[in-house]
Amino acid sequence: MKNKDIKKLQINYAKTNIEFFLKLLKENFNPDFNKLYIKEIKRLSQGFNIRLNREQKLQFCKKCNIYWSVDTRQIRLNSKDKTKEYICKKCGHVKRIKL
């Protein structure tokens, strides 16, 4: 096999692993391991240069690596800046998205 083919196989493998970990997070399979799942998702996406889409990025806090649910985040609309703000209740990190 050529190097290109091996790299494509590795990237496809990493994408399927990312999807698998996101599925585990959504199903709330084991809440004790949520931080580990998120760290693994970040490691795979950075290691293989795979871009996460918006829905995937909004599932966890970028600073403290906690899975965002109704209990762990607050959503606020900022009419002055015309942004939607996601505020982590654990660390206070604010993620702003333009509307």
Residue range 45-91, pLDDT digits in tens: 999 999 999 999 999 999 999 999 888 999 999 999 999 999 999 99
d(CA 70, CA 91): 15
pLDDT in the model for residue 99: 86
Query: What angle separates helix 34-47 from helix 3-27, to the nearest 10 degrees?
Result: 160
Here the tokens at position 15 are 């994408």
pLDDT in the model for residue 1: 79
Q: Token match 């900022």: residue? A: 78
Quote the pTM value.
0.85
Q: Please give the mean pLDDT across all residues of the chain.
A: 92
Residues in the chain: 99
Q: Is the pLDDT of residue 2 over 90?
A: no
The CA-based dihedral angle spanning residues 24, 72, 56, 25, taken in that order and rounded to the nearest 10 degrees:
0
pLDDT band at 31 (very low <50, low <70, confident <90, very high): confident
